[in-house]
Amino acid sequence: MVPLENYLALSAIVFALGVYGVLARRNAVMILMSVELMLNAVNINFVAFAAYLDPDRIVGAIFAVFIITVAAAEVGLALAIVIRLFRNRATANVDEAATMKW
């Protein structure tokens, strides 16, 4: 059986990729995709821990399902915002949308 540490390492790598994407990308859609990576890294953790530590109960798996649901809703909302942004500014570059400040 694959040891738990491998799952955790995979999760950490995916999460770091996601963070890098959020910080480095300038396109709003790409940032959203990176956020999805981070969420899925968390899902991996949940499922791995659920399988290894408490296999009789599926609490961790249920949490993963919830996160997928919430992430879907979040993406739906966020994409709507991005579309509004694109309609107004003709760009999805987040650096250009910098009017909400002092």
Partner 1 sequence: MGAEQAWVLAAIPAGVFLVLALFGRALPRGGDYLGVAAIASSFALFFVVLADFLDTPGKLGPVVNDIEWSSIGDTFDLRMGIFIDPITIVMFAVVVTVALMVNIFSIGYMKGEPRYHWFFAVLQLFAASMLMLVMADNLLLLYISWELVGVCSFLLIGFYWEKRSATEAAKKAFVTTRIGDVGLLIGIILLWKEGGTFNIQELIHLAEEGHFSQPYLFTALAFIFLGCMGKSAQVPFHVWLPDAMEGPTPVSALIHAATMVVAGVYLTARLLPMFEVADGMLLTVTIVGLITALLTGFMALAQTDIKKVLAYSTVGQLGFMFIALGAGEPAVAMFHLMTHAFFKALLFLGAGSVIIGTHHNQEMDRLGGLWRKMPITGTTFLIGSLALAGLPPLAGFWSKDEIFVVLEHRWGAWAVILLGISAVTTAFYTTRLFIRTFMGRPADPHVYEHARETPPVMTGPLVFLALLALTSGFVVFHDVGKALGFPGGITEFIFLPHHGPHEYELKWGFAAASLAMAVVGIFSAAWMYWGNDLRRSTALANWQPGIYDMLRRKFYFDELYQGMIDRGVLGFSYLVSWFDRYVVNDTGVDGSAQITGFTGGVLKYLQTGRVPNYAMAVALGVIGLAIAGLVVRG
Would you say 34 or 50 has its CB closer to partner 1?
34
Q: Smallest distance from the beta carbon of 102 to partner 1, in angstroms?
A: 4
Would you say 31 or 47 has its CB closer to partner 1?
31
Would you say 58 or 71 has its CB closer to partner 1?
71
Tally the residues of the chain: 102
Would you say 59 or 81 has its CB closer to partner 1?
81
**Which positions touch partner 1 (CB under 8 A)?**
19, 22-23, 26, 31, 94-95, 97-102
d(CA 34, CA 50) in angstroms, rounded, equals 25
- Which two three-digit tokens encode residue 25? 């990308």
- CA contacts within 13 A on the Cβ side of 68: 10
Q: Smallest distance from the beta carbon of 46 to partner 1, in angstroms?
A: 19
Q: Smallest distance from the beta carbon of 80 to partner 1, in angstroms?
A: 16
d(CA 66, CA 30) in angstroms, rounded, equals 23
d(CA 17, CA 20) in angstroms, rounded, equals 5
Q: Smallest distance from the beta carbon of 24 to partner 1, in angstroms?
A: 9
d(CA 23, CA 100) in angstroms, rounded, equals 19
